[in-house]
Structure formats: C-alpha cells, structure tokens
C-alpha cells in the first residue's frame, strides 16, 4: 500500500516530467497501433471495439487497410504514462485528472492531448464503519483507498474536503493507493482501510454487502458523473496518423452504439476479456444502468481542470474543454 501524502501526489503528477527523456522504443510492426488500457468496467467501449474488430474496420473505411490494433493492459496511470511517453504504446487510457496533468506538462514538448472520452463513471465512497455518516466522521487514523494520487477518486475526495471541511488537503495523508480488487477485499475485511472510493463493477459488489455502506457520490460533489477514463496520445502520433485517429473515434462511437443496443453482448465481451465474480446477468445490469454513460464526448473536464489549476497541479488554466483534446471531437457536446 502507498500512503498518498501531498508530496506523494506531486510525485505522481510529475511522472510525465520524469519520463520525457525516456528513449522511444520502436514498434515491432510499423503498421500496428498499440493501445494501453487499465483494468475495469469503464474501459468497456475499447474492449467491445477490439473484440469486434471495429478499430480495423474503421481504419479500412478511412483508407488504412493495412493497420492492425493491439490492446495492452497496464495497472495505474503512472505505468500508462510511462508506456506512452516511452514509445511503447501509441495511445493509453488514463483517468481524466491524470490526462489533464499530462497535457499541461507536455504542452511545449510531446503535446499529449485526449483523443476521446471513454466513459462517464459514477464514483461512490463506501465505508465499513457504521459510525461514519459523512467524510467529516473519518478519524485521523482512518485510511481511504483510491487507485492513485492523481486518480478521479483522489481529486473528487479533495474537492469534497474543500467544500465540506474547508480544507482540500484534509485527506492527503489518509489516502492510500490500492487497485480496485484489493480495495474491495480490504474494505470488506475491515482491518486496514475505513473507506474506498469505488467505481463499477466494484461498487456493485459493495452495494450488496451489509458490512459496508455508501456515504458520498460523485454526483453529490459535482452534480453529475464525471468522465472517468479518456484515451490520450502524443501530438506527433495524431499528426502523422490523422486517418487512424479518426478511425479510433469512429470505432468507439460504434462500440457505444452496440453497448446501448445490445447490452448482453457487451456484457459477454466484458466477461470474456476480464475475470470477474459477477454473473452475466449482473454485468448486463451494470451495462443497462443509466448512470454509466459510454460516450466519446467528455463531462466535467472544466470542473477537474479548474480545481487542478487552483491547487497548482496544472500551471495554465483551460479556457474550454476542447483545449486539452485533439480536434476530432471538438464539435461534440461536452463540458
């Protein structure tokens, strides 16, 4: 476990700066587009597009008939950023705050931006302590699990602390970094952590567990579910491969349509690509849940960006959400 102090957060936020000098590793096949994703339900559109060959299909439609696509799974934004900047992958899925920090730090160098949103995700803060009814009830020794110091969960907790406690740094030394599966185990065991900011499908497990209860959601904090995962790339890749970039967005659009029209098929693809204790019916219920929005258009970019700027985590403010995105979806309705 990693204790995420403010110093630790800054260290994670500086990952981009530390890897800017990493040597570029040539791809084994110049026609293969490598996409890194993390683990979790929020990456379902990429899973669907990969499983059904939609990336290749739209590449052909865009005139790139020889392009192939490979999916790599990595754990956490730091590993994904390192792979992107080191040239081991062409695109990577990141939490929105991490992508905004990376965009800010590479403005004058690699010019990393977001190609598309992947999903708008409801985040829920659970606790195993019956006495805790709000974040104000966490004690100084209580630990709260998030995936990383620059994860959407960590930023949401900081925003909530500022709004409810008047101190955005109130939980910085009490957050610890845990992968989602480990956090579920730790919370339900009731020994090492008192809280966990979860996402589907992990929040689905916790909703059924009588030993834990929910005390806060992302909607409580921001008024809606924010974009959780986005797909980022370096500027030179998109500039050199405009048809591929367009094809990826088109493939995600088609994947989103399939998820909406055939949620059971989407659930089957998820279970085929990731191990889970959930049944097919349970995953299908998650896919059908209207709070989980699969869309290339982002939500709450400005809410995160304004907060990160106010805290000095990004050095220049965004005038509009499109500033951190490639032009491919600039005309979409986002926020």
Q: What is the DSSP string of 219-251?
A: HHHHSSPPEEEEEEE-HHHHHH-HHHHHHHHHH
How wide is the angle at C-alpha 170 spanned by C-alphas 299 and 160, nearest 5°? Answer: 30
Closest residue by Cα to residue 233 from 316, 58, 113, 134: 113
Closest residue by Cα to residue 253 from 299, 289, 295: 295
Structure tokens at 272: 């085929």
- Beginning with the edge strand found earlier in the chain, give each strand of the sheet holding 175-177 in spatial order: 2-3, 175-177, 144-146, 195-198, 124-127, 213-217
31-74 pLDDT tens trace: 899 999 988 888 999 999 999 999 999 999 999 999 999 999 99
pTM: 0.87
Sketch out the chain's domains with CATH numbers.
2-121+226-329 (3.40.190.10), 124-222 (3.40.190.10)
Mean pLDDT of 114-122: 94
Tallying the residues shown for the chain, one arrives at 335
pLDDT at 4: 57
Is the N-terminal amide bond of 201 cis, ω within 30° of 0? yes
209-231 pLDDT tens trace: 999 999 999 999 999 889 989 99
107-116 pLDDT tens trace: 999 999 999 9
274-314 pLDDT tens trace: 888 789 998 999 899 887 899 999 999 999 999 999 999 99
Q: How far apart are CA 153 and CA 180, in angstroms?
A: 11
pLDDT at 17: 44
The single residue listed with the structure tokens 């977001």 is 114
């Amino acid at each position: 476990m990693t204790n995420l102090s403010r110093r630790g957060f800054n260290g994670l936020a500086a990952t981009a700066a530390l890897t800017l000098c990493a040597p570029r590793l040539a791809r084994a096949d110049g026609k293969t587009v490598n996409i890194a994703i993390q683990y979790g339900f929020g990456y379902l559109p990429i899973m669907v597009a990969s499983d059904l060959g939609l990336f290749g299909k739209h590449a052909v439609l865009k005139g790139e008939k020889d392009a192939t696509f490979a999916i790599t799974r990595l754990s956490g934004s730091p590993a994904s950023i390192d792979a992107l900047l080191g040239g081991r992958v062409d695109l990577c899925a990141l939490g929105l705050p991490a992508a905004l920090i990376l965009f800010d730090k590479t403005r004058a160098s690699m010019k990393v931006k977001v190609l598309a949103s992947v999903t708008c995700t409801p985040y829920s803060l659970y606790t195993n302590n019956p006495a805790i009814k709000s974040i104000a009830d966490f004690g100084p020794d209580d630990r709260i699990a998030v995936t990383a110091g620059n994860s959407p969960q960590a930023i949401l907790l900081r925003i909530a602390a500022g709004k409810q406690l008047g101190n955005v740094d109130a939980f910085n030394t009490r957050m610890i970094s845990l992968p989602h599966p480990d956090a579920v185990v730790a919370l339900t065991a009731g020994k090492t952590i008192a809280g966990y900011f979860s996402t589907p499908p992990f929040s689905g497990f916790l909703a059924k567990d009588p030993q834990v209860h929910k005390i806060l959601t992302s909607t409580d904090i921001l008024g809606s579910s924010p974009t959780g995962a986005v797909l980022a790339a370096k500027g030179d890749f998109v500039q050199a491969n405009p048809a591929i970039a367009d094809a990826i967005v088109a493939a995600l659009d088609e994947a989103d349509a399939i998820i909406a029209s055939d949620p059971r098929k989407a659930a089957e693809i998820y279970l085929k690509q990731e191990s889970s204790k959930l049944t097919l019916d349970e995953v299908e219920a998650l896919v059908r849940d209207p709070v989980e929005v699969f869309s290339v258009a982002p939500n709450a970019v400005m809410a995160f960006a304004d907060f990160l700027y106010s805290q000095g985590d990004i050095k220049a403010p965004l005038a509009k959400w499109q500033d951190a995105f490639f032009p491919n979806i600039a005309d979409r309705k986002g926020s």
